[in-house]
Amino acid sequence: MPTGNDPLRLIVFGRQGAGKGTQAARLAAHYGIPHISTGDMLRAAAASGSEFGLQVKAIMDEGGLVSDEVMEGVVAERLGQPDAQPGFLLDGYPRTPGQAEYLQGLLAPQGVRLAINLEVPEDVVVERITGRRVCSQCGTVYAVGRDESAATGVCAKCGGAVVQREDDTEEAVRKRLALYAQSTEPLLAWFRERDLLADVDGVGDPDDIAVELVRIIDARTGAAT
């Protein structure tokens, strides 16, 4: 059984639009551990010049998909760095039960302490994402019904055109969510079967959600002791 002195190794899951990025950043700051996303790992590996990094760079330059084998090397390299020794918050990896098995073996004997599944109903995230507007010049994000720039179509920061991205339409969003559910359900089941999953309601005030996440993590891992 892990104790409060073991590395705090966490994973966060959640649909696009569930507020995963916001909560992951808060948790990383609260516990003093790095928030490591798949994209960050791949970009860092490509820039490192290591054996796996060169492979990743070549694949990314060609627009290809990184294989499980190469991804495993990237993960092992990143999680072996000094800042990840007290713990970390992984976002975007693992994506399959096979990758979860690899990760647990890599981190043995303690393994991953807890996986958080931030639950937000599909209709809620569809509303959030389809209501998102982005400045075409500076990239500032606005929300319909909350920000004046979303209504006027003019960015308050730079005066650029505020638009809805093509992949933020309802049809595109629901397709992405269906693919996420199809690929993630077996992975969530894998962690649930091992009593390593905590489902957390992601609807409500972000501050309240953050407090609840910390409460659950502390209770399940002993992180506060």
Is 20 designated active site? yes
Range list of H helices, the chain? 20-31, 38-48, 51-61, 68-79, 97-106, 122-130, 148-152, 170-193, 206-221
Contact in structure between 45 and 69 (CB atoms under 8 Å): no
Write the DSSP string, 163-194.
Answer: E--GGGSHHHHHHHHHHHHHHHHHHHHHHHHT
Name the active-site residue from 132, 174, 192, 220.
132
Write the DSSP string, 57-76.
Answer: HHHHHTT-PPPHHHHHHHHH
- Alpha-carbon distance 180 to 116, whole Å? 16
Is 132 designated active site? yes
Is 165 designated active site? yes
Name the active-site residue from 165, 175, 194, 215.
165
Name the active-site residue from 43, 57, 174, 176.
176
Name the active-site residue from 9, 20, 113, 133.
20
Is 95 designated active site? yes
Whether the upstream peptide bond of residue 109 has omega within 30° of 0, thus cis, is: yes
Name the active-site residue from 95, 174, 192, 220.
95
> Which residues carry out catalysis?
20, 95, 132, 165, 176
